[in-house]
Amino acid sequence: MHETARARIPAQKVLRHSVRGQVLDALRAALVDGDLVPGEIYSGPALGERFGVSATPVREAMQQLALEGAVECLPNRGFRVLTRTPGAMAELAEVRALLEVPVMLRLARTVPSEVWAAMRPAAAATVEAAEAGDLAGYAEADRRFHREVLALAGNAQLLQVAEELHRRAQWPLPGAARTPRAVLVAEAGEHTALLEALVAGDLALSDSLIHAHAHP
């Protein structure tokens, strides 16, 4: 593993319980934050040293990331973070819109206002993370909000596919500047505005906001 790449991974200790899950969460956050750099190779032992754990849970977590399309396994070398292109990210956005928009439009017409009102804490969590400039925290809150909305459709397969697409769409492009806090705040505000339109039963505004949020 390159020393410059190692330096970008913040040193932190991982508690011993649920080690693999904690390492996986930490690596996912590092992907979103840009601490795991596209094109760089990372070894299990070196990352384990950074997290204060053995190489085994790191390798297990990395194998999960490989299944998710974030890294590729390099026998006897480690794991390379895959490089994404603007075209690939645009394709992800298109697929997400094709999948989520029809479902959300249907839900807007069938879900009672009190159910939408109960989702205000999830929307507020995205605003809180955005205002703090917490990229990884915002990414998690954003996925949680969308997951709660789509869960109303009662389709487990939809949730699984949408979650994977959403996670992939949050990985930054190589060399991309850190997402400004103002952009995060604006995106989080869209959640709040949409939710309030749904609570109010304003279908015209809800439809407009759903399309706008899916096609920024």
User: What are the chain's domains?
Assistant: 3-81 (1.10.10.10), 86-214 (1.20.120.530)
- What secondary structure letter does DSSP report for 122? H
pLDDT at position 172 is 84
What pLDDT, on the 0 to 100 scale, is given for residue 200? Answer: 96
> Tokens standing for 18?
């649920």
Question: Which pLDDT does position 6 carry in this prediction?
Answer: 46
What is the spatial distance between Cα 71 and Cα 36, in angstroms, rounded to a whole number?
A: 10
CA distances from 142 to 55, 61, 84, 189, 194 (A): 30, 22, 21, 11, 13
In angstroms, rounded to a whole number, what is the distance separating the alpha carbons of residues 196 and 71?
Answer: 39
Instruction: Specify the pTM.
Output: 0.83
Backbone angles phi, psi at 80, to 5 degrees: -105, 130
Three-class DSSP category at 186: helix
Kindly list the averaged pLDDT for each block of 10 residues, start to end, along the chain of length 216. Answer: 48 60 92 89 91 90 92 91 90 94 96 97 97 93 96 96 92 82 94 96 95 83
Gap between the Cα atoms of 159 and 155, Å rounded: 7
